[in-house]
A and B are shown apart, each in its own frame.
Chain A
Amino acid sequence: MGFENVEHELHKRRSSRNIGVGLTLVAFIAIVFGLTMVKITSGGLEATISNATQGEG
């Protein structure tokens, strides 16, 4: 017994929309990752953490 992978007509019809949304999400992940890396390496994050710790002390 197995499941047959039948492609519904709807899948074909919406393929361009689904591919577009998928690529947009991948691009968004890449942007957030890139922004995080830049913020960490340029020292912006360190300054924020340092200020926060000084405030606690």
Chain B
Amino acid sequence: MTDASFDTSANNNTHPGEAQFGDYFALLKPRVMSLVVFTALVGLIAAPVSVHPFIAFCAVLFIAVGGGASGALNMWWDADIDAVMKRTTSRPIPSGKVEPREAMALGLALSGFAVIMLGLASNWIAAGLLAFTIFFYAVIYTMWLKRWTPQNIVIGGAAGAFPPMIGWAVATGGVSVESVLMFMLIFMWTPPHFWALALFMKSDYKEAGVPMLTVTHGRKVTRAHILVYTILLAPLAIGTGLTSIGGPIYMTTAVVLNAMFLWGAVKIWRRPEEAAEADKYRVEKSFFGLSLLYLFLHFGAILAEAALRPYGLGGW
């Protein structure tokens, strides 16, 4: 999950330090919520059971609110880190607009609200998965792993991988191979995506005491890690195409994108740091851009297969 910042410049005419509605909304990390909405929706639509459109809308909304609530809890716990790092100093808590305890209260209240409402709107399996996702992101990742291990991104990536599984559970009331594969796709994609960003974003993780792989093990090791995770990701992504959510559109997309992604990872692995610095991390930036397209197109292809299925075109 990438962190989001939110432009609160619209509130400049207000009292300094006075929190506006937008500041509370910014606590929910709107950019992360947009990814949650998209992947949850794909999981829900790709499922073999149809859901009433209004129930589907509400379910995705509650999943997004749950994701946002975990973002608020993350901002509450990480307020000390956010105040040190340049990229995050303008967030509502370090900028002094929102009190840390307000963020905690909002996070806890919205967590309970989202889980209960999702359970009432759909089923308690989906609600239980959402509750676990919030717990995983807020407690396992934010409070425990983030400051402890350079593998924080790997395990923490699971939190961002749950939404399609929750969407699937909303429709089917359970978990299946397909939903686990959608989870694995995001889970294995997160490390190369994030570490590519860490290579070219000269961030101040060291000052903040966050053990990012680039800081603890160096850039050469990070480059090797990107390649390993990309190699592991490829068979998972292509294998998903052989299940009931796959089809010719997905398979073509997966084969082309994974070949491109693998080639990009090999180029990153072979590059010495001096060459990267000389061309201002051109390859790393292009790999990061490709990673965004990679996830969007894989889930877009699953969505296309599901949308075409009623017309006898999608799927195998």
Contact = CB atoms under 8 A, between A and B. Distances in A.
A51 interface: no
Interface string A11-53: 0011011011100000000010011001000100000000000
Nearest to B14: A13
A20 B15 contact: no
Interface string B50-74: 0010110010010000000000000
Q: How large is the interface on B (under 10, 10 to 19, 20 to 34, 35 or more residues)?
A: 10 to 19
B21 A17 contact: yes
Contact of A35 (B11, B19, B121): B121
Contacts of A17: 19-21, 24
Contacts of A19: 21
B120 interface: yes
Between A16, A21, A31, A34, the greatest number of chain B beta carbons within 10 A of the residue's beta carbon is seen for A16
A14 B11 CA distance: 11
B52 A13 contact: no
A21 B19 CA distance: 13
B157 to A, nearest CB: 31
A21 B21 contact: yes
A14 B52 contact: no
Nearest to B62: A31
Contacts of B19: 17
Interface string B148-160: 0000000000000
Contacts of A14: 18
Q: How large is the interface on A (under 10, 10 to 19, 20 to 34, 35 or more residues)?
A: 10 to 19
Interface string B17-32: 0111110110000000
B21 A38 contact: no
A13 B14 CA distance: 6
Nearest to A23: B21
B52 A42 contact: yes
B21 A13 contact: no
A2 to B, nearest CB: 30
Between A17, A20, A42, the greatest number of chain B beta carbons within 10 A of the residue's beta carbon is seen for A17
A38 B59 CA distance: 13
Interface string B24-43: 11000000000000000000
Given A20-B24, A20-B25, A34-B54, 8 more contacts: A14-B18, A16-B22, A17-B24, A21-B21, A31-B61, A34-B58, A35-B58, A42-B52
9 contacts: A13-B14, A16-B20, A20-B20, A20-B22, A34-B54, A35-B54, A35-B121, A38-B52, A38-B55
State the 5 A-B residue pairs at the shortest beta-carbon distance, nearest first: A20-B21, A16-B20, A17-B21, A13-B15, A38-B54
